[in-house]
Amino acid sequence: MDDDTQVDLLCQESDLDKSGNEEELSKVKGQQNVSKNIKRNLEDSGEETERPYKKCFVGERFFWSPPLVTKLLEFVKMFYPKLQSDRIKKSDAYREIYEKLKPHCDQPGLTLEIVRKKWQNILNYHRKLRETEQRTGRAKYYQFYDEVEELFRQFQKDKETAEPSSTEDNMPHGIVFDSNATHNGVSVPEVNSAQGQCSISNLTTQLVEDSSSDEESEKEQQEEERLRGKRSGKRRKRERLPNISRAVEMSMKELVSEHKQMVHCEVMKTKSIEKTCEAKDTLSKGIIDAINRRTDILERHQASSYRINDIYAMLQKYECKIENMDTRLLKLESTMYRIESLLEKIVNKLNEK
C-alpha cells in the first residue's frame, strides 16, 4: 500500500478517535496492520512494493496518470533517434513529443518543460534503480520498467556505437606489418618492396570487410543480449510472483490471527458488557421496587388525607347542626320565660279577685 493510503488511514484514525466510533476505528487499524504486514513481508522476501506513480513521476503542479505516462514513453521511443542526434536540437525533439502528447492529455497545465522534466525524472529514477540493483543485488520493479529498460539499453547502445572504434584512424602512418602478426583474427601476409602498393590495398579492403563482419556480429550479439534481458526481466517477474504470493499468504495468516484476537477481544468485551448490563438490570429492578413501595406509601397517605378531609367536612356539618340546636334552645328559653311571665300575671289577677 502506498504512502498516500497510509496518510488517509491516519487521518481517518484521528477523526474516528475524536468522534469515538470504536467499530470504524478498529477497522481502520486493521487496514493499517495489513498494509504494514504486506510491506514487511515483501521486504523480508527480498522484494520491493510497487512505487506509486504520484510519488515517482510527478511534474510540478501536474499529475501524470499511468495512461499518459504510457503515451509519453511511446512518443519518446518514436522520437528517440532525434533525442540522441547531434544535428537536431533536443528542444525541437521535445517540442514534437509535446505536440504529439498534447491531444492525449485531458487536464490543463501540460507544458513543454513539464514533458522534458518528466522524461528526465523517469530516466534518472531508472538509472538509480539500476545502480542500486548492481550495488545491492536486489531488483526493484515498477510498471514501466520494461519499456524504460529497453530505451535505456538503446541509449547505452547508441552511446557505445557513437564512440570512435575504427582502427584505420588510429593506425600510425608508415606502419610495418609482420608476417606472424594478426589483426581482428585475420593473419596479415608479409609485404615486400615489389608488391607494396597492391598488398596494402588488398589488406585495407580485407580489414574493411572484417570490420563490417565484426560490426554485424556485434549487432547480433547486442540483439541477443537485448532478447536475453527481456527474458531475464520476464524471469524476474515470474520469480517475483511466488515471493509476492508468499508475502500475501503470510500477511493473510497474520491478518487471520489478528482477526481472531480481535474477535476474542470483542467477545470478552461483550461478556463484560453483558455482566454490567445484568448488574444494571438488578440495580434498576431494585430501584423500581423501591419506587413502587414509595408510590404505595404515597397512595396510602393520599387515601388517609382524603378520609381526614371527609371527617373534617362531617365535623363542620355537626357544628352547624349544634349551632342550629343552640338557637332553637334559646328560642325555647325565651318562650318559656314569656310563658312564666304570663302565668305570673294570671296568678296575680286571680289573687286580686
pLDDT digits over 262-276, tens only? 898 889 999 999 999
- The model's pLDDT over 61-108, given as tens digits with 9 standing for 90+, comes to 677 888 888 888 888 888 878 777 777 788 888 888 888 888 888 878
What are the boundaries of each domain within the chain?
Answer: 3-161+211-263
Q: What is the mean pLDDT of the chain?
A: 72
- The model's pLDDT over 35-72, given as tens digits with 9 standing for 90+, comes to 665 555 555 544 444 444 343 344 446 778 888 888 88
Indicate the burial class of 345 (C-beta count within 10 angstroms; 0-12, 13-18, 19 or more).
exposed
Q: Give phi and psi for 62, each to the nearest 5.
A: -150, 130
HSE (CB half, 13 Å, CA atoms) of 295? 6
Round to whole Å and give the CA distance between 225 and 149. 13
Position 13 scores a pLDDT of 60
Residue 220: C-alpha distances to residues 157, 182, 227 (Å)? 12, 24, 10
Whole-prediction pTM value? 0.32
Position 352 scores a pLDDT of 84
